[in-house]
A and B are shown apart, each in its own frame.
Chain A
Amino acid sequence: MNVVLALIALVLFPGGLFVILGSLAFEYADRKLIARFQNRVGPRWFQPLADLVKLLVKEEIVPTGVNRGLFNGLPVAALAASLTAALYVPMAGLAPAWGFRGDLVVTVYLLMMMTLCIGLAGANTLDRFSLIGSTRALTQLFSYEAPFLLALLGPSIAAGTWRISEVNGYARENVWMIVTQPLGFVVALIGLMGKLELPPFDAPEAETEIVSGALTEYSGRGLAFFRLGRDVELLVGLTLISAFYLGGLANPLHFILKTLALLFVTAGLQSLFARLRIDQTVGLWWRAGAVLALVQLLLLIVLKLLGVRL
């Protein structure tokens, strides 16, 4: 019986199919919002699904000079990592499907897999655009990853646990941590945009310079998996941040309202700025992002030592 339940959790709900469809819905919302901000009409509701199906049925061209195993395996690994991460977060406002002490750290690593796979995928090909793109992707990874981790650490220190479901529970019972830890919230949200290479952090795939960056050589299924993986990561990331900073997720209504509110903000930020050069991105993260996250963390630790209940 347990096995059946576990399989359902893995394949149908809250993992697997539900996450995939949910992330496509979020991609639609994201694209539609940006289009409206830019005074365009935007896509129809099924467009992300149509894109996915189209890419899946397309011929996949494997370029010469690549390691075929890596070329085919990396997209699968990237998607699998994002889908696995979805099991540890309070998806749809329900309790996470799985959880253990320290699952926060595992989730953060799983979320990082995507960028790592993209970087390797670019370095695997001989294409110049891919090589430059993967260099940029990995450079960017080193700049936002530490601040992002520190920003997620804040709430878990306040809650005194490394377990996502317990942080979520703590957040529900206390003042929203966006109020008590505003710096951490900003760093976490912008960090998520950096992880997903959304504008203005899209230097690794700046089309006017390096076409499609690390994924230039990907055409069919591989590209579909990478794109889907990124959508899933967006959903997981938004869930995690709203669970931690927006007073926790207790039910599906909470989930929808809070994640969509965050999506609205990120879509706005995406359409507000010009693309940052890679050196500007790195500079911004180390000069501002890391410092802000550290200041937040130090404050937290000091207050904790002083015995202030947050």
Chain B
Amino acid sequence: MSGESAFSGIQDGVGPWISSSRAPADNRLDMDTSAEHLVGAVTAFNALKWGYLSAITGFDSGTAAPSDGHIEVLYHFCRGPSVATFRVKLPREDPSVPSIGPLVPSAVMYERELSETMGVNVAGLPGRKRQFLSDDWPEKVYPLRKDFTMESAAATHAEAPTVGGEDEPGTFIIPIGPQHPALKEPGHFELAVDGEIVTHANIRLGYVHRGIEKGAEDRSWVHNIYLMERICGICSHIHATAYVLGVESLAGVAVPPRAQAVRTIFCELERIHSHLLWLGVAAHQAGFDTLFMYSWRDRETVMDLLEELSGNRVNYSVNLLGGVKYDIVGKAADSIRRGLDFLERRLKRYLKIVTTDESFLRRTRGVGTITFDEANRLGTIGPTARASGVSRDLRVEAPYMAYRDFPVVPVLDSRCDLEARFVVRINELFESCRLTREILNRMPAGELSVPAPRKVPEGEVISRVEAPRGELFYYIRSTGGAKPDRVKVRTPSLCNWAAVLSVAVGHKLADIPMIMVGIDPCFSCNDRSITLRRRGAPGGVPGALEQWSWEDLRQYGIKYYAGGGR
């Protein structure tokens, strides 16, 4: 493999800062360093201009006892199919690492997640507020630690979360969210404006954080397929796919080619539905509701196809460990072909509209420009990066599943503005249609699935796939049991926020919704926990918020439906 050569030069460059290095798999290089040497290592690594920071993973190798085990922080840098990882081992008591935010801007978001959920003190991390956990989450309780219990999280619910506050003198802050018509899901943005010009932008996420990563540690390998599929309602299939690909490679299961082809077809159909949905939302942000209505009408074509193939519109539940549930044959294949023919005709029309409609171009051309260098520096991925001429598409660079046999032609645009983001996404849909048709025509014969073990051997794996919004990163760690030890999910939306916040400054307020939606942000991508609480549980303090137990919830459900859903 070209893995060896891809990493050549790295060891020489960062040599003094690392204590040891090894290649745990093809295309991977792990380098051990320490908290003191981390900044030096990343600085030297940056100088090599080797790749971009894809994710920061933290895991707790211990058990409930505090003296046992350690916390390890992994900094994953990617270039094409290759992943270079700096590993920092920390004690479980007061773990601390320096922030690499000044060196790698996109790191800040990941470091914040690390510090809030894993309890690693990241020295020098800017900002004051919580980014992912609720404001009333108790101090010093870190959900991803192994000694975490639900009781410790329920201990304090002192005050309701607050948003905003007094303006600093001389600024006028427009709050967008958590509830706002521009946002279909909750997020909070603070835009400081001077007249109509935005002078500063800030973001707060986590309003619907659901604790899926923690939940995964408590479910079997099979259960987790369904849990991961529910991370996002738009790109559900790709999450489950990234997970099963990782687990299969850990377990050494060889998936039959026909199953891979079926998975790939679902991936591409999902991309079509996701991009069409985005097209409508983006048009709506520009006040162009006619395009919104038409593109969503046409999106129903692909939704119907997905329903016809799997019986579901949202969570298709296609994947098994070791294969797929559904086959695509005869009639179903024909309806896919018909649907794609129709969509291609419509797409031609939409491409014409977004590139020629005068009033629409006034809102997109030259607006929200992310230059090639900026896109590289801020670590953007997916269509956002490709619209800035940065070729980052894992289907091309690190082909997986059926993409190995059916190569994807990358879609790039060098204009860097909002218009380019429209053009790239629509052209990607043409490519998806072509690809789906080609796979259908040359569908490999064979089995749909092979048996997979219930327990997965000890080890760790990195699984990267191209979701509609960009690179999706999974880190899965097994200790040889029936449940994973850690599943880390780094979703594509998280990577692109840094770019949006820096681009927003200097634009007019009216352009902000368009710029935000230009990266196709997905809040389910960002938020993964929720605890259910209710006021005044019997026997509790009146008016206090209390946790719902599983049994409470079950009883509530039974009563709810017994009363005819009232």
Of the stretches B95-103, B359-367, B487-495, the one at the interface is B359-367
Asked whether B290 is an interface residue with its Cβ less than 8 Å from the other chain, the reply is yes
**Is the beta-carbon distance between A37 and B290 smaller than 8 angstroms?**
yes
Of the stretches A24-32, A47-55, A267-275, A297-305, the one at the interface is A267-275
Of the stretches B208-216, B232-240, B402-410, B510-518, the one at the interface is B510-518
Residue of B nearest to A38 (CB): B293
Min distance, Cβ A76 to any Cβ of chain B, angstroms: 27
Query: In residues 7-66 of chain A, which contact B (Cβ within 8 Å)?
Result: 37-40
Min distance, Cβ B349 to any Cβ of chain A, angstroms: 13
Chain A residues with CB under 8 Å of B285's CB are 208
Asked whether A254 is an interface residue with its Cβ less than 8 Å from the other chain, the reply is no
State whether A200 and B359 are in contact (beta carbons under 8 Å apart), knowing that A132-B509, A209-B510, A278-B196 are contacts in the complex: yes
State whether A275 and B288 are in contact (beta carbons under 8 Å apart), knowing that A206-B510, A209-B182, A280-B362 are contacts in the complex: yes
Residue of A nearest to B362 (CB): A280
Complex: A132 Cα to B176 Cα, angstroms: 13
Query: In residues 199-227 of chain A, which contact B (Cβ within 8 Å)?
Result: 199-200, 202-203, 206-211
Min distance, Cβ A60 to any Cβ of chain B, angstroms: 21
**Is the beta-carbon distance between A40 and B293 smaller than 8 angstroms?**
yes
State whether A39 and B182 are in contact (beta carbons under 8 Å apart), knowing that A203-B510, A274-B357, A280-B362 are contacts in the complex: no
Complex: A280 Cα to B360 Cα, angstroms: 12
State whether A200 and B287 are in contact (beta carbons under 8 Å apart), knowing that A209-B513, A276-B359, A280-B362 are contacts in the complex: yes
Of the stretches B41-49, B124-132, B140-148, B167-175, the one at the interface is B167-175
Chain A residues with CB under 8 Å of B360's CB are 273-274
**Is the beta-carbon distance between B510 and A39 smaller than 8 angstroms?**
no
Complex: A277 Cα to B509 Cα, angstroms: 9
Complex: A271 Cα to B287 Cα, angstroms: 10
Asked whether A128 is an interface residue with its Cβ less than 8 Å from the other chain, the reply is yes
Chain A residues with CB under 8 Å of B293's CB are 38-40
Asked whether B180 is an interface residue with its Cβ less than 8 Å from the other chain, the reply is yes
**Is the beta-carbon distance between A207 and B182 smaller than 8 angstroms?**
yes
Min distance, Cβ B378 to any Cβ of chain A, angstroms: 24
Asked whether B289 is an interface residue with its Cβ less than 8 Å from the other chain, the reply is yes
**Is the beta-carbon distance between B510 and A277 smaller than 8 angstroms?**
yes
Which applies to chain B's interface (DSSP): helix, strand, loop or mixed?
helix
Chain B residues with CB under 8 Å of A202's CB are 287
Complex: A276 Cα to B285 Cα, angstroms: 12
State whether A277 and B508 are in contact (beta carbons under 8 Å apart), knowing that A38-B289, A208-B285 are contacts in the complex: yes
Asked whether B294 is an interface residue with its Cβ less than 8 Å from the other chain, the reply is yes
Contact of A128 among B174, B294, B359, B513 (CB under 8 A): B174
Asked whether B286 is an interface residue with its Cβ less than 8 Å from the other chain, the reply is yes
**Is the beta-carbon distance between A274 and B362 smaller than 8 angstroms?**
yes
Known: A128-B175, A209-B513. 11 other contacts (CB 8 A): A38-B294, A39-B293, A132-B174, A207-B181, A208-B284, A209-B510, A273-B288, A274-B283, A275-B510, A277-B363, A277-B511
Asked whether B454 is an interface residue with its Cβ less than 8 Å from the other chain, the reply is no
Name 27 A/B residue pairs within 8 A (Cβ), A-sorted: A37-B290, A38-B289, A38-B290, A38-B294, A39-B293, A39-B294, A39-B297, A128-B172, A199-B289, A203-B510, A206-B510, A207-B182, A208-B285, A209-B509, A209-B512, A210-B509, A211-B180, A272-B290, A273-B288, A274-B359, A274-B363, A275-B286, A275-B288, A277-B362, A277-B510, A277-B511, A278-B196
Complex: A274 Cα to B361 Cα, angstroms: 9
Query: In residues 276-299 of chain B, which contact A (Cβ within 8 Å)?
Result: 283-291, 293-294, 297
**Is the beta-carbon distance between A278 and B290 smaller than 8 angstroms?**
no
Complex: A202 Cα to B359 Cα, angstroms: 14
**Chain A proximity mask over B244-272: 1 for CB below 8 Å, otherwise 0:** 00000000000000000000000000000
Complex: A107 Cα to B365 Cα, angstroms: 41
Residue of A nearest to B357 (CB): A274
Chain A residues with CB under 8 Å of B193's CB are 132
Min distance, Cβ A204 to any Cβ of chain B, angstroms: 11
Residue of A nearest to B513 (CB): A208
Chain A residues with CB under 8 Å of B509's CB are 132, 209-210
**Chain A proximity mask over B76-91: 1 for CB below 8 Å, otherwise 0:** 0000000000000000
Complex: A184 Cα to B512 Cα, angstroms: 35
Complex: A203 Cα to B509 Cα, angstroms: 11
Complex: A23 Cα to B69 Cα, angstroms: 74
Min distance, Cβ A3 to any Cβ of chain B, angstroms: 49
Min distance, Cβ B188 to any Cβ of chain A, angstroms: 14
Complex: A275 Cα to B182 Cα, angstroms: 14
Residue of B nearest to A273 (CB): B359
Min distance, Cβ A276 to any Cβ of chain B, angstroms: 7
**Is the beta-carbon distance between A275 and B287 smaller than 8 angstroms?**
yes
Chain B residues with CB under 8 Å of A200's CB are 287, 359
Chain A residues with CB under 8 Å of B508's CB are 277, 279
Min distance, Cβ B373 to any Cβ of chain A, angstroms: 28
Chain A residues with CB under 8 Å of B512's CB are 209
State whether A275 and B363 are in contact (beta carbons under 8 Å apart), knowing that A37-B290, A208-B285 are contacts in the complex: yes
Complex: A37 Cα to B360 Cα, angstroms: 18
State whether A274 and B297 are in contact (beta carbons under 8 Å apart), knowing that A208-B182, A211-B180 are contacts in the complex: no
Chain B residues with CB under 8 Å of A207's CB are 181-182
Chain B residues with CB under 8 Å of A275's CB are 286-288, 363, 510
**Chain A proximity mask over B511-532: 1 for CB below 8 Å, otherwise 0:** 1110000000000000000000
Complex: A277 Cα to B288 Cα, angstroms: 12
Complex: A171 Cα to B37 Cα, angstroms: 87
Residue of A nearest to B516 (CB): A208
Complex: A38 Cα to B288 Cα, angstroms: 10
Contact of B362 among A40, A129, A276 (CB under 8 A): A276
Complex: A210 Cα to B193 Cα, angstroms: 13
**Is the beta-carbon distance between B286 and A271 smaller than 8 angstroms?**
no
For A199, A277, A278, the residue with the greatest tally of chain B CB atoms inside 10 Å of its CB is A277
